[in-house]
Amino acid sequence: MRNPSEKLAAKPLLHPINPIPTLPTGQNQSGFYDHLQHIWNNVALLQNIVTLENEMEKYNYAYRFAEIELEKVCAENAFLQHKMQALLAKP
């Protein structure tokens, strides 16, 4: 068992540890909760790898993981909008 006061030299990763499919398979609300669960799972995994000093650190990492998830969703939306415009422009 790891000593909680022991520090690890490795820097934590600031990208999702276990990527999930970016397009949710369920309803929009279900997809939203899937993204939230994924963010918090990444924080929990990070907490197992690196000792986080306090709750504020945990929420800072959750915020960074949320930024990454938001970037993915924005990229998906832009791609889908472009795809829809291309389909609608065809005769």
- What's the rounded mean pLDDT across residues 81-86? 89
Distance between CA atoms of residues 49 and 52, nearest Å:
9
Residue 18 lies in a domain: no
Residue 5 DSSP symbol: T
8 has pLDDT over 70: no
Q: Is 16 exposed, middle or buried (0-12, 13-18, 19+ CB in 10 A)?
A: middle
Which residues form the domain of 58?
28-89
Residue 38 lies in a domain: yes
Banded pLDDT at 79 (limits 50, 70, 90): very high
**pTM: predicted TM-score of the whole model, two decimal places:** 0.57
Lookup: tokens for 54: 């306090």
The number of distinct structural domains making up the chain is 1
- Tell me how far CA of residue 91 lies from CA of 17, 84, 86, 88, in angstroms: 43, 13, 10, 8
Residue 81 lies in a domain: yes
Residue 2 lies in a domain: no
71 has pLDDT over 70: yes
Distance between CA atoms of residues 65 and 35, nearest Å:
10
pLDDT of 19 reads 52
Residue 54 lies in a domain: yes
Summarised one tens digit per residue, pLDDT across range 15-66 is 555 555 555 455 566 778 888 888 889 888 888 888 777 889 889 989 999 9
